[in-house]
Structure 1
Amino acid sequence: MAHRIAVVPGDGIGREVTPEAQRVLDRCGEIWSFELEWSLFEWGCEYYLNTGRMMPEDGLEQLRQHEAIFLGAVGYPGVPDHVSLWGLLIPIRRTFQQYINLRPVRLFDGIESPLRKASAGELDFVIVRENNEGEYSEIGGRLYRQTEHELAVQQSTFTRRGTERVIRYAFELAQERNGVLASATKSNGIIHTMPFWDEIFAQVSADFPEVETGQYHIDALSALFVLKPQSLDVVVASNLFGDILSDLGAAVAGSIGIAPSANLNPEREYPSMFEPVHGSAPDIAGRGIANPIGQIWSGAMMLEHLGHPEAAAGVVSAIERVLGETSIRTPDLGGASSTAEVTDAVLGALNEQAGARP
């Protein structure tokens, strides 16, 4: 079985960790009998500096021909963040209806959380972030620029369809896991969109009576992430709240360098996209010390999506072994290993699993 995968390494350390993760995923294909046909697209900030665009005019059409997109990182000095984001990531997410942003948060054995009461095995939850609308809207503008009367307006957009589908996805995921779902809101301060979110959450909840639910104002939920993250199972949130909570979750789990994410089109009408949570980290780019685990784990999520759950589980198990049984670490985790050395260790653990398979 062959899968066509578009690879966009992007910028900074994305160019370093993406090929390392590909090594792991190609080995999975050899072990579990499938093939990944990679198509490389050298798009990103360097492409923008040369052409004035983050990707070519027909870039989305080129990506559409693939089953999934494997993205490294986007962003680099000299290119404003809103240019890089709105020129590549957001058009991909919206054109391909990748309305679910899935971000697992897990504390591995061998990783020390900044929370003194957090321990491996207890901290394991998933954030479901709405990924197409909400607070990240193009609607708005600025008036009276560069005067004392200057005005900026940014409109949040919540549709019933968009809100219901992400909440329903989160309920279904909670049903598959431990049956507990927390919803992020701020209906005491945001008078229209958040009560709307709460109403739809309550309506969908009626279809899942077996799922235990809780609705938390975003400030209280942020505190819960720090004070009692062990109580969380699935968290559903709007675009902005989910973005903030998922980075907080990665920090609670010990390092943003190991955090993965998936931008999913659940109906599979379009390709889904898989990327680590970390950015392009230009301060360490080119030094060979970037942590590849976030990219590798994102690759495992891609394998799951492509219909290879055993291979996906094998990758996560290999990551567990490296972090839990060895001292191999990149500097962000307090070690001195290189990007390639960490990948080699993951491959070694993967090969040991292959040798144990009948």
Structure 2
Amino acid sequence: MKNIKIATIPGDGIGKEVVPAATEVLKAVSEVHGGLAFDFTDFPYSCEYYLEHGDMMPEDGLERLKDFDSIFLGAVGNVNLVPDHISLWGLLIKIRREFEQVINIRPAKVMSGVQSPLVNPNDFDLIVVRENSEGEYSSVGGRIYRGEDEIAIQNGIFSRKGTERAMRFAFELASNRKKHVTSATKSNGIYHSMPFWDEVFKDVSKDYPDITTDSQHIDALAAFFVTHPEKFDVIVASNLFGDILTDLGAGIMGSVGIAPAANINVNGKYPSMFEPVHGSAPDIIGKGIANPIGQIWTAKMMLDHFGEEELGTVLLDVIESTTHDRILTPDIGGKHTTREVTDEIIKRLKAK
């Protein structure tokens, strides 16, 4: 029996509704298919925790998390209580950086029964590999002067090690998919970092002769996500560009509520973290209509990470059979509750 220790951090808002739903689904997976068990430990780190303690997590919070096999996160943020730069840098980004979760991966595909806003989505199925540790989201920079002379400086940091690492991850991923990698760049406008990015991409591609490549400027690439998403397989992007593209990917699927994500530690020193793309959605807290699919699809990605790809495929198939039969929450055109969607997925898992 493989026992996987998971630290669950429901966090804020609807995270407290969808994380329990997804853990129920994972328990059903282990009950039905055997050979796999999950040991969940809940942590209350959140904006409410911050209001009580002055920090998003205790001083030894990372020490408490580091020996788990993975972290299952719900949502972070409640701008009405805590400014975003405090909540995100005190919890989500802190975990990503300190646990060396240097790769972020987010898939987007046509989901049966979910209406894409695109007239002809053409069964797109793509995945964005985002460099997750540096780039435009570095903390290097500062502000000087005041008033009309005030200056803010934000430095983008692109190391060869970090850039190449993300690109190799993308190529390895593409080798088990449609064998194509697209690089997101902007070397016609960003003078130093993007020509460097292009050079590293060209160098790395030489080691993967069986994989075709292309390079697209980010503005054109964003347009192609809307006009021809079916042409893409794996896209590798910097921290900022990947962040933007993945929200766009969620949008063309039909709702940010169904989009999953994984923050991957590649050296095995620390746990990886799995989270849906949606935020805390304060407008629907407590209404029982939060879409659990993003969190449940995130659980599928966690299964894949642990080498349980077959179980992950079963879970995604069950999710799609549920959406195909129009058992949907209101954000994707349905009338069902969080509870009803979760129960239906569990029922279909047990019937497999």
**Does the TM-score normalized on the shorter chain lie above 0.5?**
yes
CA distance in 1, matches of 2:160, 2:189: 20
Q: How does 1:228-239 map to 2 (within 5 A)?
A: 228-239=228-239
Report the CA distance between 1:199 and its aligned residue. 0.4
Distance across 1 between alignment mates of 2:63 and 2:24: 27
1:131: which partner in 2?
132
Q: 1:46 aligns with which of 37, 48, 51?
A: 48
Distance 1:113 1:268 in 2: 37
Paired position in structure 1 for 2:71: 69
The amino acid of 1:123's aligned partner reads F
Higher mean displacement: 242-251 or 326-335 = 326-335
Deviation (angstroms), 1:341: 0.5
Q: How many Å separate the matches in 1 of 2:164 and 2:238? A: 11
> What is the SS of the residue equivalent to 1:2?
strand
Provide the C-alpha distance between the structure 2 equivalents of 1:189 and 1:132, rounded to a whole number of angstroms.
23
Give the match for residue 112 of structure 2: 109
Q: What letter is aligned with 1:25?
A: L
TM-score norm. by structure 1 comes to 0.96
Alpha-carbon displacement from aligned partner over 1:334-357 (angstroms, at most 9, x marks no partner): 11111010001111111111xxxx
The SS at the match of 1:176 is coil
Instruction: Say if 2:258 and 2:297, in contact at 8 Å, map to a contact too.
Output: yes
Shift in Å, 1:111 = 1.0
SS in 2 for 1:4: strand
1:118 CA drift (Å): 1.0
Give 1:41 deviation, angstroms. Answer: 0.3
Query: In the aligned structure 2, how far is the partner of 1:80 from the partner of 1:142?
Result: 19
Looking at structure 2, the residues matched to 222 and 343 of structure 1 have their Cα atoms a distance apart, in angstroms, of: 33
1:152 aligns with 2:147: no
Name the aligned partner's letter for residue 19 of structure 1. Answer: P
Which residue in 2 is equivalent to 1:181?
181
Equivalent residue letter for 2:110: L
d(CA) in 1 for partners of 2:334, 2:30: 30
Partner Cα distance (2:307, 2:232) in 1: 27
CA distance in 2 between partners of 1:223 and 1:309 (Å): 32
Report the 3-state secondary structure (helix = DSSP H, G, I; strand = E; otherwise coil) of the residue aligned with 1:267. coil
Q: C-alpha deviations, 1:215-247, integer Å up to 9, x for none? A: 000001001101100000000000000000000
SS at match of 2:26: helix
Among all aligned residue pairs of Structure 1 and Structure 2, give the percentage whose two residues are the same amino acid: 56
Aligned-residue CA RMSD (Å): 0.9
1:342 is matched with which residue?
341
CA contact (8 A) 1:274 1:299 kept: yes
Structure 2 SS opposite 1:118? coil
Describe the SS at the equivalent of 1:235: strand
Aligned pair 1:292/2:292, yes or no?
A: yes
In structure 1, distance between residues paired with 2:258 and 2:348: 17
The amino acid across from 1:257 in the alignment is G
TM-score by length of 2: 0.98
* Residues 284, 290 of structure 2: 8 Å contact kept: yes
Q: Name the CA distance, whole Å, in 1 between partners of 2:17 and 2:315.
A: 19
Number of residue pairs matched by the alignment: 349
Please tell me whether the aligned partners of residues 123 and 253 of structure 1 are also in contact (alpha carbons under 8 angstroms).
no
CA-CA distance at 1:307 after TM superposition: 2.3
What is the CA–CA distance in structure 1 between the aligned matches of 2:115 and 2:288, rounded to whole Å?
A: 23
CA distance in 2 between counterparts of 1:341 and 1:172 reads 38
Residue type of the alignment partner of 1:106:
K
Task: State the alpha-carbon separation in 1 of the partners of residues 169 and 158 from structure 2.
Answer: 16
Q: C-alpha separation between the residues in 1 aligned to 2:340 and 2:303?
A: 23
In the alignment, the residues of structure 1 paired with residue 151 and residue 162 of structure 2 have an alpha-carbon distance, to the nearest angstrom, of: 29
1:172 aligns with 2:172: yes
- Could you tell me which residue of structure 2 aligns to residue 356 of structure 1? none
- 1:206 corresponds in structure 2 to 206
Could you tell me how far apart the structure 2 residues matched to 1:158 and 1:179 are?
Answer: 26
Aligned-partner Cα distance in 1 for 2:209–2:170? 14
- The one-letter code matched in structure 1 to 2:14 is I
Report runs of 4+ in structure 1 exceeding 6 Å deviation: none
**How many angstroms apart in 2 are the aligned matches of 1:56 and 1:78?**
18
3-state SS, counterpart of residue 245 of structure 1:
helix
Give the match for residue 102 of structure 2: 99
Provide the rounded CA distance (Å) in 1 between the counterparts of 2:267 and 2:321.
Answer: 34
Structure 2 residue matching 1:236: 3-state secondary structure: strand
Counterpart amino acid of 2:83? Answer: P
Q: CA deviation at 1:32?
A: 2.2
Residues in 2 aligned to 1:197 and 1:337: alpha-carbon distance in whole angstroms: 45
Contact 2:32 / 2:349 at 8 angstroms: preserved in 1? no
Quote the Cα distance in structure 1 between the aligned partners of 2:312 and 2:27.
Answer: 12
- Unaligned regions of 5+ residues in structure 1, if any? 354-358
Aligned to 2:255: 255
